[in-house]
């Protein structure tokens, strides 16, 4: 008989795999049968959250965390937070969602699917392990601050990387605030521009948010290759 821990991991992997397939199939069927465009689907989602009233933040956080584990683009939820909650509360609820989903992804990558993450996910975030090995928490902070790598693969890969849970959560919580703010501001501005009689100032606000995001992406293209050529430094223990 195999090791009980190995059997538990195998069962967990199978369960997660089935959940991924079922969720993807349900989402595809829902989209194909009820909506004609992504914009129509987004409008329906926002109206559905609003209909929940005081429970809307709880449902939003739960859906955000689930989507993050299913490789769905959480940027859609981040954009929707502006119209749903306003700028201030939108940033707050996305901040909560990102930290919880990041912690969950880290745990999955470290304890449940580590072998699979190292084989399948790590190649999607090239240089992550080497960068953390060279610069430790500094590289983790840069990865979170510059929105160039997809959120879910980074979360899983961080779990298998030589970095501690505390460092992962600190860099995730602090360094994603600029990106969160820009996305929430953009979503809020886009809705106001679509609904307000005088659209000019909201179009300008949306343009500013887009410029911030573009600047961060350009910075990532410039900074990350330079970091890759730097001499090694102290890494962070994976405790």
- pLDDT confidence bin for 161, thresholds 50/70/90: confident
pLDDT given for residue 137 in this prediction: 87
Domains of the chain: total: 1
3-class DSSP assignment, residue 36 = coil
Residue 178 domain boundaries:
51-228
Residue 189's pLDDT is 92
Whether the per-residue pLDDT at 231 is higher than 80: the answer is no
Q: Is residue 30 part of a domain?
A: no
Angstrom CA distances, 224 to 33, 128, 134, 137, stand at 42, 10, 13, 14
85 vs 197: CA distance, rounded Å? 21
* Residue 187 near residue 83, CB atoms below 8 Å: yes
148 pLDDT above the threshold of 90: no
Contact at 8 Å (CB) between 136 and 230?
no
* For residues 15-27, average pLDDT: 68
| Residue 215 within a domain | yes
Q: Does residue 4 fall inside a structural domain?
A: no
pTM check: above 0.85: no
Structural domain contains residue 45 = no
Question: In this predicted structure, what is the pLDDT of residue 41?
Answer: 66
55 belongs to a structural domain:
yes
Residue 222 lies in a domain: yes
pLDDT of residue 34: 67
The mean of the pLDDT values for the chain is 82
189 domain residue, yes or no: yes
Q: Is 36 among the domain residues? A: no
């Amino acid at each position: 008989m195999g090791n009980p821990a190995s059997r538990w991991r195998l069962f967990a992997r199978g369960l997660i795999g089935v959940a991924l397939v079922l969720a993807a199939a349900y989402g595809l069927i829902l989209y194909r049968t009820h909506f004609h465009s992504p914009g129509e689907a987004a409008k329906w989602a926002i109206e559905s959250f609003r209909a929940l009233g005081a429970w809307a933040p709880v449902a939003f956080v739960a859906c955000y965390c689930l989507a993050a584990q299913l490789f769905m683009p959480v940027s859609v939820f981040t954009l929707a937070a502006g119209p749903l909650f306003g700028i201030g509360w939108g940033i707050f609820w996305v901040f909560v969602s990102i930290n919880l989903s990041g912690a969950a992804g880290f745990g999955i990558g470290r304890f449940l699917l580590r072998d699979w993450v190292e084989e399948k996910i790590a190649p999607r975030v090239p240089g992550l392990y080497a960068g953390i090995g060279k610069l430790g928490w500094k590289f983790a902070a840069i990865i979170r601050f510059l929105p160039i790598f997809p959120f879910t693969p980074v979360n899983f890969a961080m779990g298998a990387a030589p970095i501690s849970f505390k460092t992962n959560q600190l860099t995730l919580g602090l360094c994603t605030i600029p990106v969160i703010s820009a996305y929430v501001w953009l979503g809020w501005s886009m809705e106001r521009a679509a609904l307000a009689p005088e659209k000019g100032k909201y179009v300008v606000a949306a343009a500013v948010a887009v410029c911030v995001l573009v600047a961060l992406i350009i910075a990532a293209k410039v900074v990350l290759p330079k970091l890759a050529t730097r001499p090694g430094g102290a890494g962070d223990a994976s405790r």
